[in-house]
Amino acid sequence: MRLPSLDAHALLVMWVQLFVVVLVARLLGTAMRRIGQPPVVGELVAGVLLGPSVLASIWPSAGRWLVPSSQILAAPLNAVGWVGVAFLLVLTGFETDLKLIRRLGRPAAAVSVGGLVVPFVVGIWLGWMMPAFFRGAHSTATAFVLFIGVSLSISSMPVIARILEDLGFMRRNFGQMTMAVAMVNDLVGWLALGFIVALARSSNVSLTSLAMPLGAVLLVLLLSFTVGQRVVDGALRRVRRVDGNHVDSMAVTLIITLALAAATQAVHSDAVLGAYVAGILVGRSKFFMPRIRIQLEAVTNSVLAPIFFATAGLRLDLGRLANPQTLLWAVIVLVAAAMTKVAGVLAGARAARLGNRDGLALALALNARGAVEIVIATVGLSIGVLSDSAYTVIVLMAIITSMVAPPLLRLVVRGWRGGPEEVERLEREEALEENLLIKPGRIMMPSRGTAGSIAVARLVHAAWPLDAPVSVLNVEPGHDADVQAVVDVFQAREVELRNLGTGAVPEAIVEEAKLGYSIVGLGAREDARPGSLLSPVVDDVLADCPVPMVIVRPPLGRSRASGGPRTILVPTAGTPSSRTAQELAYALARSTGARVSLTHVITRPEQPVSVGSATAAQGSNGAVSAVAAGIISQAVEHARELDVAVKPTLRTGPSAGEELLREAREQGADLIVLGTTVLSLGGRPFLGHTVEYVLQEADMEVAVVATPATLVAGAVSNRED
């Protein structure tokens, strides 16, 4: 059997279409970004310029190449555009944070209801009032008015997210509320679209005839969020455990997307709903690899999404606005969409007892329809619910609302910093964004319930953001009661307890660490066994672990201070590994109120020992002292950004380890925090002479941040970028 294929001319038309559409869409999208508009606006304008509105009217032969009348010639470009919108919806699903929606609770619900219900009701009324020529050839009156209602009520989360990000408002309180409402809006909008498409494709509008397609959509959604989530987690876990290959994770993501897109299309809904659900399932999996988002976003935003939006513009015929009735209804729909969204959101904000400025900022941001509106209009046109005139009116409304949202939002927020709590939170988050170690992410805590495990659990719990979940893994079944003491440390955060599994403990820990954890916390023995650095298990994990490790060795020969450390000594050397130790020490100080002694040691075997402040450090070698003072100043500035007071000290001596211990005893430190890069020498992990000396000789508690060499190099590269 021979597989049918496009002939040479059809292939030439496809390649010319792709070349011209991508080139013009990217150029205009970039131009729009530079003037503060969403790139989607430029991509739509590219389609308008290349379509019947402009190019076809002044150069008909070129217009026939880009918008051919033959379905065979038009199908390839349209197919690529639909793949683009499917990937765009996957990215939107990645950003749908169901936890955020639940956390904001009542305010988000009130604003969502107001912002959806008021425009929807007015849209239904407008749909009944609009002339019959706005209805598609295969539309029922019910399907048409529902489409108009959804078109007026929906917002565009991708465009809103881009606007908030570009304007620097994403982490503002109103920005987080906007995203939560936009997520609810998108979720409701895509579910509604799925049901309306099922309704529109039903040949009979009786209750009986609608029950099966609507029930099928519900069944697909139910299976997706129950059995489907477990399947997604299992597949992503498997590919990450094998070798952590992001190519395999990308393949799993795309296969899930294609499967759900096909499933929703098969039950007479639309593939975009399946793609959106696939994005939610993959994005909320604890085995999700963030690099997949970056890679998929790159190919989608650079090529596939511009093709879709440009093809949407190709269908837009502004010549239809020459009809006075069409132009009048275009103005009516635009004004109604904007005013009802503002009125509904303000009413919801007032019901939620939000401030007037918060409510207005929410309303202006949520007025951006952009990408989602265009997808809905395209679906409506493709299934025959909307006519070309109605499509033009809705897409024009989406473009204009997306264009006016950024300048109006910038005007409303100008000079408004928010309350003291918001200002303090934003400043802290800005400082934490530069961190190499202390970031939200999954925390792994292998444990037998020993004193060292409890010590590292307390330290990590005090230092890491509370939204970082913890997996406590019992490495030796039978110690359940002891391990429960570790679990109890994390009462204020999401924590799971499970057995690590069978097999050798070090290998099992390393394999588990590949599954998307940001750090591994390990408790070391107080007295290392002969021939080992910390313990046989910890040494083996150190040699192969792919993520940073926080290792705590309890104090030698004395009891641990209750209530956290009182004085922390942290050395600074101006290196990435040194910075990770500072991040940990500063986070502990903020949480526990401990004092921080910041020390830099100049090793000069020929020089006598001297002790002094960083500002007074000027020895015989002025250049060396100046560099040392610069290193300390940089660390002090880092502490100041986090609102942590430190005592800087510069020491000189023949051994860095000895000087650190002298300083720790003079300051009365009960915790030393060290940072190091893990090297493997002769099958043994090497942490550096200074770190290993302190671990062996210090009688106080010691915490070591051990980072694999490959991660340190990557972190430096990312910070430079």
Give per-10-residue mean pLDDT for the chain (721 aa): 74 91 92 81 85 85 83 84 85 76 77 91 93 85 88 80 73 78 75 76 58 76 91 89 75 93 82 86 87 88 86 80 91 94 93 87 86 80 88 88 85 80 69 76 89 90 89 82 88 86 81 88 72 77 89 77 82 90 93 92 64 44 73 89 88 90 92 90 82 90 89 48 40
The answer for residues whose C-beta is within 8 angstroms of residue 233's C-beta and 6 or more apart is: 285, 286, 287
Q: Say how many Å lie between the first and final Cα of the chain, rounded.
A: 53
Angstrom distances, CA of residue 334 to CA of 46, 125, 433:
21, 15, 40
Report strand pairing: 442-447 vs 470-474: parallel
Angstrom distance (rounded) from CA 250 to CA 236? 9
Domains defined for the chain, CATH in brackets: 82-311+321-416 (1.20.1530.20), 442-720 (3.40.50.12370)
The pLDDT, as a whole number, for residue 718 is 44
Angstrom distance (rounded) from CA 656 to CA 670? 19
Paired tokens of 215? 């029930």
The pLDDT, as a whole number, for residue 117 is 92
Q: If DSSP codes are grouped into helix, strand and coil, which group holds residue 684? A: strand
Residue 53 phi/psi, 5-degree rounding, is -70, -35
Angstrom distances, CA of residue 712 to CA of 513, 675, 678:
17, 11, 10
Yes or no: say if 665 and 677 are a contact pair by the CB < 8 Å rule: no
Yes or no: say if 111 and 177 are a contact pair by the CB < 8 Å rule: yes
Find the length of the chain: 721
Yes or no: say if 287 and 233 are a contact pair by the CB < 8 Å rule: yes
Paired tokens of 696? 């062996």
Angstrom distance (rounded) from CA 491 to CA 468? 12
Q: If you write DSSP's letter for every residue of 471-509 in order, what string do you get?
A: EEEESSTT-HHHHHHHHHHTTTS-EEEEE--SS-HHHHH
Provide the CB-side half-sphere exposure for 75 (13 A, CA). 7
Angstrom distance (rounded) from CA 331 to CA 200? 26
Alpha helical stretches, state H, 154-289: 157-167, 173-200, 207-223, 229-242, 246-266, 271-283
Provide the CB-side half-sphere exposure for 191 (13 A, CA). 12
Paired tokens of 69? 């009348």
Angstrom distance (rounded) from CA 374 to CA 391? 9
Q: If DSSP codes are grouped into helix, strand and coil, which group holds residue 520? A: strand
Neighbours of 430 (CB within 10 A): 11
Angstrom distances, CA of residue 121 to CA of 128, 152, 493:
11, 9, 41
Instruction: Kindly calculate the radius of gyration of the chain based on its CA atoms and give it in whole angstroms.
Output: 30
Angstrom distance (rounded) from CA 628 to CA 572? 9
Yes or no: say if 383 and 201 are a contact pair by the CB < 8 Å rule: yes
Q: Which conformational region is residue 158 in: left (phi greater than 0), alpha (psi within -120 to 50 degrees), or beta?
A: alpha
Residue labelled with tokens 């408004």 = 416
Specify burial of residue 719 (Cβ count, 10 A radius: 0-12, 13-18, 19+). Answer: exposed
Residue labelled with tokens 């009701």 = 121
Taking 3-state DSSP, the helix, strand and coil percentages for the chain, each rounded to the nearest 5, stand at 65, 10, 25
What's at 262, amino acid-wise?
Answer: A
Angstrom distance (rounded) from CA 705 to CA 708? 10
* DSSP H or E stretch at residue 38: none
Q: If you write DSSP's letter for every residue of 316-371 in order, what string do you get?
A: --GGGGGSHHHHHHHHHHHHHHHHHHHHHHHHHHHHTT--HHHHHHHHHHHT--HH
Yes or no: say if 406 and 37 are a contact pair by the CB < 8 Å rule: yes
Nearest to 167 by CA among 504, 434, 406, 337: 406
Q: If you write DSSP's letter for every residue of 378-415 in order, what string do you get?
A: HHHHHTTSB-HHHHHHHHHHHHHHHHHHHHHHHHHHTT
Nearest to 586 by CA among 432, 413, 482, 467: 432
Yes or no: say if 147 and 223 are a contact pair by the CB < 8 Å rule: no
Neighbours of 391 (CB within 10 A): 24
Residue labelled with tokens 């450390």 = 565
The answer for residues whose C-beta is within 8 angstroms of residue 702's C-beta and 6 or more apart is: 552, 553, 671, 672, 673, 674, 694, 695
Nearest to 188 by CA among 273, 258, 128: 273
Specify burial of residue 518 (Cβ count, 10 A radius: 0-12, 13-18, 19+). Answer: middle
Q: If DSSP codes are grouped into helix, strand and coil, which group holds residue 639? A: helix
The answer for residues whose C-beta is within 8 angstroms of residue 587's C-beta and 6 or more apart is: 438, 462, 463, 464, 642
Q: What predicted TM-score, i.e. pTM, was given to this entire model?
A: 0.72
Angstrom distance (rounded) from CA 38 to CA 159? 7
Q: SS3 letters for 263-305?
A: HHHHCCCCHHHHHHHHHHHHHCCCCCCHHHHHHHHHHHHHHHH
Paired tokens of 647? 């005592």
What's at 244, amino acid-wise?
Answer: G
The pLDDT, as a whole number, for residue 123 is 93
The answer for residues whose C-beta is within 8 angstroms of residue 526's C-beta and 6 or more apart is: 451, 452, 553, 554, 555, 556
Q: Which residues pair with 499 in a beta bridge?
A: 474
The alpha carbon torsion through 338, 341, 342, 348 (nearest 10 deg) reads 180
Angstrom distance (rounded) from CA 59 to CA 241? 57
Specify burial of residue 236 (Cβ count, 10 A radius: 0-12, 13-18, 19+). Answer: buried
Q: If DSSP codes are grouped into helix, strand and coil, which group holds residue 650? A: strand
